[in-house]
């Protein structure tokens, strides 16, 4: 096992940095050079656009000729939001996993934040960004990016936290034996072990960014109508106008972008991540990527790695090694640090107390009838969320295991799953809603369907990640001992995927609460279709600018989520980190 750890930890670098001397053929360098020039030109264009004057309401052109520019803007917003999400994930997940005191409130807080609908973040985020840059387009763009961030980050943070909690004991013992400092443990053990889960949840996060793109690029805030040029606003405008041709063009463009992203980004990352699989015997059938092979033969990328990434990594390793060997700081420094934390905690408690008092005063003005409607809405949405989770788990667990354990099937099913997860259900929902109205059922059934379309993918992608991470030697043991299919599921598959499945269920639950804002309240051809639920109350309050109802409904949603977290998810996470961990 120690040898396997050494093999894994030595290779955690960019894909092209660990291979033999690349070919000198210029064929491999020209595309990379061209891509670099295109990227530089894109930065110039975006800098010019974002620094330009504010144009709150942009006329959305439904002509197909406008789609390339709109797609470029949307892809950029999703990419920037993803980088922010990744940075947040590594910091937040690490602190929550290794600080028991912080873990007690950070994990429930993460569950609350992922459950708060995007529209609940919208007023505060947009007003803050527009206030920071009142005359520049940058303010509205940053607001949209942060809103996309709120739809991407939570499942990644849960995945990284869950991976850190389930690192095998022998790996940690080996790290202690070799006296790893903080940086070595992070880069050579913790991050490599988390890579497979992070890659698959990154795919789901980007898909979530596409899902909420319509709400993030086109929204109404009081009397102000904000529209940003992008694929989301294009689809939203086309859906509101009932323009089937424009919807088709927009969805086709989105599918093309998703397929290209899969081939150029995700498939190379999946193939690269296999080197960090926790196993003693290398699997025979592993994912491969022509793009990754191409990048490994590029002299430009190899030179950049040798001149930047490698020296920076060595400098950081040396820096933290010196700090690790230093003696403990004096007691006075520790006392100052403790008092600083106490003062900071008192200040935070004061801010929270003030906000709580203001919230109670605001909620008190609703009256008994308003509180009854919120309680009834919370019960209705809670029932829909759990029905959607049950239906989603029934089919995603067997399908996800099949995809994760058969690389040939994954090559076909993976891009299809990304496309299905990325297409905004709200773009297709008008047709579904009209069909349900025609046959009977209306939004009461349609809301469950939309919740399912928006959340089942969290379970699927995490189950695929868990099945992919099952060591080949354990599968071989099951084959040698002649385990039946039921025994294989009971003794290997379900225990192995349990931490990943738990992450999928938690994030799917939060995503379902989040998606309720569009599942229970929908604009169609000048009419409003709604059903009883917290999502409908939040959407209605946003349209009317009713901050009192918006705040109360959001608090009610947070209370339900915290209760479920304390009674169910926390106990299951404890079980996953003790009983169902490889080791």
Q: What is the pLDDT of residue 84?
A: 92
Q: What is the pLDDT of residue 285?
A: 60
Q: What is the pLDDT of residue 88?
A: 93
pTM: 0.73
Q: What is the pLDDT of residue 229?
A: 87
Contact in structure between 250 and 237 (CB atoms under 8 Å): no
Q: What is the pLDDT of residue 423?
A: 65
Q: What is the pLDDT of residue 485?
A: 85
Q: What is the pLDDT of residue 508?
A: 87
Question: b/e per residue, 336-365, with b = 16+ CB within 10 A?
Answer: eeeeeeeeeeeeeeeeeeeeeeeeeeebee
Domain boundaries, the chain: 77-288+366-578, 329-365
Q: Where are the alpha helices (DSSP H) in 274-366?
A: 290-296, 299-304, 310-325, 331-364
Q: 3-class SS at 59?
A: coil
CA distance 371 to 558: 15
What residues in the chain have per-residue pLDDT under 70? 1-29, 32, 56-57, 115-124, 219-225, 278-287, 319-338, 340-342, 348, 352, 354-355, 358-359, 362-365, 422-431, 437-442, 523-526, 582-583
Assigned CATH for 77-288+366-578: 1.10.3720.10
Q: And the tokens for 153?
A: 């980050």
Distances (CA, A) of 529 to 429, 446, 533: 12, 11, 12
Between helix 137-165 and helix 30-50 the angle, nearest 10°, is 130
Q: What is the pLDDT of residue 203?
A: 85
Distances (CA, A) of 515 to 111, 141, 248: 15, 22, 23
């Amino acid at each position: 096992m120690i040898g396997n750890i050494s093999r894994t930890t030595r290779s955690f670098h960019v894909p092209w940095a660990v291979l033999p001397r690349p070919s000198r053929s210029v064929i491999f360098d020209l595309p990379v050079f061209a891509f670099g020039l295109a990227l530089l030109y894109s930065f110039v264009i975006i800098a010019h656009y974002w620094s330009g004057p504010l144009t709150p309401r942009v006329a959305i052109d439904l002509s197909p000729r406008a789609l390339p520019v709109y797609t470029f803007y949307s892809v950029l917003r999703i990419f920037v939001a993803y980088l922010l999400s990744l940075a947040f994930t590594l910091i937040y997940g690490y602190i929550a996993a290794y600080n028991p005191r912080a873990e007690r409130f950070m994990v429930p807080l993460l569950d609350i934040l992922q459950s708060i609908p995007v529209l609940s973040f919208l007023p505060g985020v947009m007003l803050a960004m527009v206030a920071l840059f009142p005359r520049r387009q940058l303010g509205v763009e940053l607001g949209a990016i942060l809103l996309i961030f709120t739809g991407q980050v939570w499942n990644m943070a849960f995945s990284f936290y869950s991976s850190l909690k389930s690192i095998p004991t022998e790996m940690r013992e080996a790290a202690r034996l070799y006296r790893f400092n903080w940086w070595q443990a992070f880069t050579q053990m913790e991050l490599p072990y988390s890579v497979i889960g992070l890659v698959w949840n990154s795919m789901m996060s980007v898909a979530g960014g596409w899902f909420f793109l319509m709400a993030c690029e086109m929204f109404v805030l009081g009397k102000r109508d904000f529209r940003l040029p992008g694929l989301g606003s294009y689809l939203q405008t086309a859906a509101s106008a009932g323009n089937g041709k424009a919807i088709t063009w927009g969805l086709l463009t989105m599918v093309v972008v998703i397929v290209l992203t899969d081939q150029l980004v995700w498939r190379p990352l999946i193939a690269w991540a296999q080197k960090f699989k926790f196993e003693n015997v290398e699997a025979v059938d592993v994912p491969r990527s022509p793009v990754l092979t191409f990048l490994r033969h590029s002299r430009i990328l190899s030179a950049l790695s040798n001149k930047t990434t490698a020296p920076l990594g060595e400098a950081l390793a040396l820096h933290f090694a010196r700090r690790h060997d230093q003696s403990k700081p004096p007691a006075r420094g520790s006392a100052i640090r403790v008092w600083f934390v106490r003062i900071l905690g008192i200040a935070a408690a004061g801010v929270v107390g003030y906000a709580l008092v203001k919230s109670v005063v605001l909620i008190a003005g609703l009256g008994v009838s308003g509180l009854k409607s919120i309680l009834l809405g919370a019960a209705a949405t809670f029932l829909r969320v759990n029905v959607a989770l049950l239906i989603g788990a029934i089919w995603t667990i067997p399908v996800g295991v099949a995809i994760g354990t058969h690389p040939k099937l994954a090559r076909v099913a993976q891009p299809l799953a990304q496309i299905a997860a990325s297409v905004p259900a709200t773009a297709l929902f008008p047709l579904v809603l009209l069909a349900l109205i025609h046959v009977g059922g209306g939004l009461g059934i349609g809301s469950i369907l939309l919740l399912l379309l928006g959340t089942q993918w969290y379970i699927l992608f995490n189950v695929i990640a868990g099945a992919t991470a099952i060591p080949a030697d354990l599968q071989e043991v099951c084959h040698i001992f002649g385990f039946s299919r039921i025994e294989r599921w009971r003794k290997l598959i379900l225990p192995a995927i349990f931490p990943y499945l738990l992450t999928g269920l938690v994030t799917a639950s939060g995503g379902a609460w989040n998606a309720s804002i569009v599942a229970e309240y929908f604009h169609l051809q000048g009419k409003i279709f709604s059903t009883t639920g917290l999502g409908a109350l939040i959407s209605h309050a946003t349209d009317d600018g009713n901050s009192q109802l918006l705040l109360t409904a959001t608090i009610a949603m947070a209370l339900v989520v915290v209760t479920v977290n304390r009674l169910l998810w926390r106990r299951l996470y404890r079980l996953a980190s003790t009983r169902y961990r490889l080791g």
